[in-house]
A and B are shown apart, each in its own frame.
Chain A
């Protein structure tokens, strides 16, 4: 067993592109769920339209790269309006079901054979990310001792973490303002807010759209980094992982989703590396108990258990303040 190896794998993921994608998705969810109390189970759908907004405009419709970027911001906005207008008047769990269903419908459509011309089917789309790669100012990668990133990764990470930082700054500025106060009040009791002359529906819509666009940024980043978009990336598991990251870091905290996402991938990759070293040839766990394939599954078992235990014993997350977080509401 090589502890340094485990640490390397864990850090590589915790600072890497996956953590950025899920940090952005979770920041969006934090606005929805943590601050406003909207139970959006379809964040994967927002991430997906962010990614496909870029890829489809450039690849399928031949739009210039900059227009693709604009579309990648507009698409989640449109999705938010389409979903929000009818559902934001419904009960919280209905919103959850509608959003999860909508996200799945989107994924099915993006992956369908019948719409292959537009969305590329299950192989997805590629060949749109060249301008992004060409803009890379670095001439070489970086070696940080334990971990190292190649030239392309370094460029992606720079852009990604800057995006995360900007989003955090925006959330911080918004949530200390009276606007944020209205959102938190809506989370507590919509009718009270209504009775004080605030247009609750409009605020919920703004929150849904903002959180969706930030999720869409995650999709745009993923699309740029991978240089391809594939529908299977955007399954409901993506939403639930983002939720797990948010709960881990603490909902209704500006840095909660970021810390949570980093921690989430640190643990997932660390556990993965630990068990893959422990099982199979040369590991200390006999193959009767755990084979190589089984070793790759065990981290997700732990993940499921962790979500349950967190929610039961520390719904405020690792850093949250229990008095302030409203998940244990109705």
Chain B
């Protein structure tokens, strides 16, 4: 057990080292935040013409015209960063027309790129984008490597987020045997709490650190949520001797209850955190050719530190060992004098906190939505099943594999619009050929 732990730790630290090799090079993008008004933003970059860091060159001085229902609604010219922000009055469908005559000499639109693009303005604010790919057709043949790097980056971030949620699931499953279908909602809980407190802190004059503070609060609340769940719901049920299948169905009820409760308060649209959200332009950092946005770098760092801490804690602390003992054999652990109920409560608290953290990071990477947890519940299940249900190290390895498969699958023939099926198919196959997972122990029969 211990050897396996060290192997996983070494692998993780190795991964961390790989990521940190090479000093970060800050890209040149420090700019004033765009105005708050609803606007369409166009960034023109020449993909065929890159600078030393591999950033495409911006194209300044291009005139763009925005129209709605044939009527002109606004006009803009790209600045020296290639960005034009054109304010519009209301939400709806707009057509952005690029004036080809104003393109600098030598720059032409790609064959497939038309000079008109339709944009649906769905959000208040300046984050509605019109995209004119320029200079990309030439690189089509060799783009696999680039796509691979890009998807790999997304895969690593997603895998780490998944890993935190998977760890939470595994802790709870390991100690209680419960396949918790409300686990996705525990993730959503972290995200929506971060969103709420972000807004409170932002308006309370803490705008510069509001997301970080909100994240911390959300994680604490996640832990508290786990505690409350155990004390109010699962603990009493356990003592009553309710069967696992019954509990599983109860968790489905809880999932539906929480999901729509979130929707009640946060609606069904998506929200962004005030900082570090995927919509903002930001610095990129370079690690071995992988360019990470500062937001992604933060997510990766927080996740790796947390995962390492949890692993060390599981290996070294008394409670961690007790937790593993209970996962392995509750009856034996109880007979050797462990307070199993206390261990389970701890698992709920830590599982809740980890899952909430995963929700916060996921909210930074994507956006906040009442249904976000439900959407990745099956992917989490796939990750922990792959590694071996209830084993901590299995959750780590399984999440890494599934996270990468999820993002890299499309490069290997998985249709992009349904990339979820990669992990699901892996899970099905794993359950069929090796139900105990890649790291799990074979269950004894009879």
Q: Do any beta carbons of A and B sit within 8 angstroms of each other in the complex?
A: yes
- Residues of chain A touching chain B, judged by Cβ–Cβ distance below 8 Å, are 39, 86-87, 90-94, 96-98, 100-102, 104-105, 108-109, 111-115, 237, 240, 243-244, 247, 293-294, 297-298, 300-301, 303-312, 315, 327-330
Given contacts A90-B431, A101-B378, A113-B415, contact A311 B425 (CB under 8 A): no
Given contacts A114-B417, A307-B256, contact A87 B431 (CB under 8 A): yes
B438 at the interface (CB under 8 A from A): no
Contacting residues, chain A, for B428 (C-beta < 8 A): 98, 101-102, 105
Complex Cα gap A197–B40 (Å): 72
Given A307-B249, A330-B243, 8 extra CB contacts under 8 A: A39-B245, A93-B248, A97-B385, A101-B425, A108-B418, A111-B417, A328-B241, A328-B246
Contacting residues, chain A, for B415 (C-beta < 8 A): 112-115
Contacting residues, chain A, for B212 (C-beta < 8 A): none
B288-304 interface bits toward A, Cβ cutoff 8 Å, 1 = contact, 0 = none: 00000000000000000
Contact (Cβ within 8 A) A315 B246: yes
Contacting residues, chain A, for B179 (C-beta < 8 A): 93, 96-97
B237 at the interface (CB under 8 A from A): yes
- Please tell me the number of chain B residues within 8 Å of chain A, measured between CB atoms: 41
Contact of B435 among A94, A109, A293 (CB under 8 A): A94
The residue in A92, A97, A300, A305 that gathers the most chain B C-beta atoms within 10 A of its C-beta is A97
Contacting residues, chain B, for A315 (C-beta < 8 A): 246
B253 at the interface (CB under 8 A from A): yes
Counting residue pairs across A and B whose Cβ atoms lie within 8 Å, the total is 131
Given contacts A104-B424, A108-B420, A112-B417, contact A304 B432 (CB under 8 A): no
Contact (Cβ within 8 A) A104 B378: yes
The residue in A111, A305, A309 that gathers the most chain B C-beta atoms within 10 A of its C-beta is A305
Q: How far is the CB of A311 from chain B (nearest CB, A)?
A: 5
Contacting residues, chain B, for A301 (C-beta < 8 A): 257, 260-261, 264
Given contacts A97-B385, A101-B428, A298-B264, contact A303 B256 (CB under 8 A): yes
Contact (Cβ within 8 A) B253 A97: no
Contact (Cβ within 8 A) A304 B431: no
Contact (Cβ within 8 A) B256 A311: no
Contacting residues, chain A, for B243 (C-beta < 8 A): 327-330
Q: How far is the CB of B153 from chain A (nearest CB, A)?
A: 24
Contacting residues, chain A, for B250 (C-beta < 8 A): 307-308, 311-312
Contacting residues, chain B, for A94 (C-beta < 8 A): 431, 435
Q: How far is the CB of A210 from chain B (nearest CB, A)?
A: 21
Complex Cα gap A98–B267 (Å): 31
Show 13 residue pairs from A and B whose CB-CB distance is below 8 angstroms, ordered by the A residue.
Answer: A87-B431, A97-B179, A97-B431, A101-B381, A237-B256, A297-B260, A304-B257, A304-B260, A306-B253, A307-B249, A308-B250, A327-B243, A328-B242
Contacting residues, chain B, for A327 (C-beta < 8 A): 243, 245-246, 249
The 10 closest A-B pairs by CB, nearest first: A304-B257, A307-B253, A304-B256, A308-B253, A114-B415, A108-B418, A300-B260, A101-B424, A86-B432, A112-B418
Closest to B244 in A: A330
Q: How far is the CB of A41 from chain B (nearest CB, A)?
A: 9
Contacting residues, chain A, for B267 (C-beta < 8 A): 293
Interface of A, secondary structure class, is helix
Interface residues of B in 246-268 (CB under 8 A from A): 246, 248-250, 252-261, 263-264, 267
Contact (Cβ within 8 A) B431 A105: no
B211 at the interface (CB under 8 A from A): no
Contact of B257 among A101, A113, A294, A308 (CB under 8 A): A308
Complex Cα gap A311–B424 (Å): 28
Complex Cα gap A21–B264 (Å): 27
The residue in B248, B254, B256, B425 that gathers the most chain A C-beta atoms within 10 A of its C-beta is B256
Contacting residues, chain B, for A303 (C-beta < 8 A): 256-257, 260
Q: How far is the CB of A109 from chain B (nearest CB, A)?
A: 7
Complex Cα gap A91–B260 (Å): 31
- Residues of chain B touching chain A, judged by Cβ–Cβ distance below 8 Å, are 179, 237, 241-246, 248-250, 252-261, 263-264, 267, 378, 381-382, 385, 415, 417-418, 420-421, 424-425, 427-428, 431-432, 435, 443
Contact (Cβ within 8 A) B246 A104: no
Closest to A309 in B: B253
Contact (Cβ within 8 A) B253 A101: no
Contact (Cβ within 8 A) A304 B258: yes
Contact (Cβ within 8 A) B257 A312: no
Complex Cα gap A318–B249 (Å): 17
Given contacts A112-B417, A113-B417, A297-B264, contact A93 B425 (CB under 8 A): no
Contacting residues, chain B, for A237 (C-beta < 8 A): 256
Contacting residues, chain B, for A100 (C-beta < 8 A): 378
Contact (Cβ within 8 A) A101 B249: no
Contact (Cβ within 8 A) A90 B263: no
Contact of A294 among B264, B378, B425, B443 (CB under 8 A): B264
Contact (Cβ within 8 A) A304 B254: yes
Contacting residues, chain A, for B382 (C-beta < 8 A): 101
Contact (Cβ within 8 A) B435 A90: yes
Given contacts A102-B428, A311-B246, contact A108 B421 (CB under 8 A): yes
Closest to B255 in A: A304
Contacting residues, chain B, for A101 (C-beta < 8 A): 378, 381-382, 424-425, 427-428
Complex Cα gap A243–B250 (Å): 11
Closest to A294 in B: B264
Contact of A96 among B248, B418, B424 (CB under 8 A): B248
Contacting residues, chain A, for B256 (C-beta < 8 A): 237, 240, 300, 303-304, 307
Complex Cα gap A280–B260 (Å): 19
Contact (Cβ within 8 A) A329 B425: no
Given contacts A113-B417, A298-B264, contact A330 B253 (CB under 8 A): no
Complex Cα gap A83–B378 (Å): 18
Complex Cα gap A330–B242 (Å): 8
Complex Cα gap A87–B385 (Å): 15
Complex Cα gap A93–B435 (Å): 11
Contact (Cβ within 8 A) B245 A97: no
Contacting residues, chain A, for B424 (C-beta < 8 A): 101-102, 104-105
Q: How far is the CB of A264 from chain B (nearest CB, A)?
A: 13
Contacting residues, chain A, for B418 (C-beta < 8 A): 108-109, 111-112, 114
Contact of B237 among A114, A240, A243, A312 (CB under 8 A): A312
Complex Cα gap A305–B254 (Å): 7
The residue in A92, A305, A308 that gathers the most chain B C-beta atoms within 10 A of its C-beta is A308
Given contacts A112-B415, A297-B263, A304-B254, contact A98 B431 (CB under 8 A): yes
Complex Cα gap A287–B17 (Å): 54
